A and B are shown apart, each in its own frame.
Chain A
């Protein structure tokens, strides 16, 4: 009988559904979007491998400007070499820097279309970004010490500049400066909708000479031998760097240490507040929708007073009538909820299309969504259903 009534009041039922759908839609789409971002950011963050941490002058994620960081000394090449000397525990200390100032890379008449990332580093840098040499060789200590004009190129650069040739030993130009290709890295594919293979990479010393002036600050990646030695390594490196940078005892570090966990945490607290925001929005939307449901159910009860009277006259108990109207309101709410969930997931996943990361379905939120719809159906449907159940049969049958 629920279905008879719903079918007979298509327009009204549709409008009611819409309210619920919008409420559920808002929360599901935001949650899906966040899940999508989370999964892609997690995979993005994992570029920096386990047991590693990063030392920089400024924090990796920074909200607004802060004078505290502005007055800090840069991390220069000398400090980096000293740290490499002094720190005994790390299995890898690798300094590097990056520029966006190189617009094109050319080889003979060929040019890259998209500006590649150009960075300086050493033999360890590839390891810190989880990449391997596919052909040729890695950078060596010698390359760094002698500031050799050599470079390693990513698969995208190979595709454009050397479609039919072996790149090894060829000379390419970055802003008119010659570099000899000594290695090619394995293709990594995309993350966050961006190719990870569009780069040129050279000794950090060469990089600084060619592309940087006096003012630069290196990022140093440190890897400990194992997770057991991680905190010990961290302590040693911090101590060494404080000594090198002459930080007086008792004062705080004038550099930042970023671990994988910290990055996740910072991101987590950021998405956390978005979640709370989306959640409050949808709570409000659902309350409004709930009031809508209540209103429409009251109208529905009024419209069917005669029917209720007839039903009672032929044997319906209060419970039967109560149940009839509650089922109707819960059913309406759930249909609305399911529509909201479907569209919400679709909308949330549009982000995954844009960001070119795998789509996700937040099963947990979908379930919460449908459950909360049922609760709204019961909560806001109770009063109208109670009114219906307590109608007087004779009065109701007289009602026109």
Chain B
């Protein structure tokens, strides 16, 4: 199978007051469709930076990134926005919902950017929220929801344009274990439906939900192995 994502010697350096911070320092990773990958590593090792680059939110200082065989650095703003909008669903540790908009509205926004007609939009957004078990919280604002509920809204938002890749950066980091399990169930469900899942976590137990575990340290890949004992969150 051809690679969905292919990173070649990716570097991301920051210049912080004259001092060079090598957040990523030569990453080589290839990801095929329908893999479930955990990225592990200590704080500051470069996990989020890597996710942002894979998600076409950030541009590497050096190296090449091919998304579905196409070079990302040759794409313009509209193409990148379109990938973020249709191909990738991002789930963040801090939820990153629009605070002043209702759950339904939050889930509707990606559909606005993909020019989906209004009536269809509301229908899709509603069923997406129902699929994560929030059918009774459509008109609640983020601050009227629990952490687990907020993260489920964020997942509903990530899924609304039926992307093939889900990027989840510590999706359970801010949640209690019960809510965390629910999120992991949703991710596993998506994996069984054929989606590619990339999950950042620093918890070993969470990482074991994936069938491939990549460990990074100081911006470099320390280990990249298959996980034989994948936990099936049912």
Contacts and interface: CB of A to CB of B under 8 A. Distances in A.
Q: Do A and B come from one complex?
A: yes
A313 B114 CA distance: 13
Interface residues of B, number: 28
B54 to A, nearest CB: 12
A182 B92 CA distance: 100
B57 A315 contact: no
Given A314-B109, A316-B81, A318-B77, A393 B57 contact: yes
B58 interface: yes
A133 interface: no
Contact of A312 (B81, B114, B157): B81
Interface stretch (B95-103, B177-185, B215-223): B95-103
Contact of A4 (B77, B90, B100, B113): B100
B133 to A, nearest CB: 21
Contacts of B90: 313-314
Interface in A299-316: 306-307, 309-316
A314 B100 contact: no
B188 to A, nearest CB: 23
A315 B100 contact: no
A20 B130 CA distance: 45
A313 B77 contact: no
Given A4-B101, A307-B98, A310-B96, A315 B58 contact: no
A336 B77 CA distance: 34
Nearest to B101: A4
A315 B55 contact: no
A1 B102 CA distance: 11
Interface string A276-296: 000000000000000000000
B100 A8 contact: yes
Contacts of A397: 92, 96
A136 to B, nearest CB: 77
Interface string B100-114: 110001000110111
B86 interface: yes
Contacts of A312: 57, 81, 84
B177 to A, nearest CB: 26
Nearest to A317: B81
Contacts of A4: 100-101, 105
Interface string B104-131: 0100011011100000000000000000
Nearest to B85: A315
A247 interface: no
Nearest to A309: B96
A394 interface: yes
A313 B86 CA distance: 11
Contacts of A310: 96-98
Contacts of A317: 77-78, 81-82, 113
A103 interface: no
A5 interface: yes
B172 interface: no
A320 interface: yes
Contacts of A5: 100
A394 B113 contact: no
A315 B52 CA distance: 14
A313 B78 CA distance: 12
B110 A314 contact: yes
B183 to A, nearest CB: 18
Given A5-B100, A8-B100, A310-B96, A315 B110 contact: yes
Contacts of A394: 52, 57-58
A315 B98 contact: no
Contact of B81 (A8, A307, A315): A315
Contacts of B82: 315, 317
A5 B158 CA distance: 23
**A5, A306, A314, A397 interface centre (most CB from chain B within 10 Å):** A314
Interface string A1-30: 100110010000000000000000000000
Contacts of B113: 311, 314-317, 320
B157 A314 contact: yes
20 contacts: A1-B109, A4-B101, A306-B96, A310-B97, A310-B98, A313-B84, A314-B113, A314-B158, A315-B82, A315-B85, A315-B113, A315-B114, A316-B85, A317-B77, A317-B81, A318-B77, A319-B78, A393-B57, A393-B58, A394-B57
Given A307-B98, A319-B78, 12 more contacts: A4-B100, A5-B100, A309-B96, A313-B57, A313-B90, A314-B84, A314-B90, A314-B109, A314-B113, A316-B81, A316-B85, A317-B82
Interface of B: 52, 55, 57-58, 77-78, 81-82, 84-86, 90, 92, 96-101, 105, 109-110, 112-114, 157-158, 161
Sorted nearest first, the 7 A-B pairs with minimum C-beta distance are: A315-B85, A315-B113, A317-B81, A314-B110, A394-B58, A393-B57, A310-B96
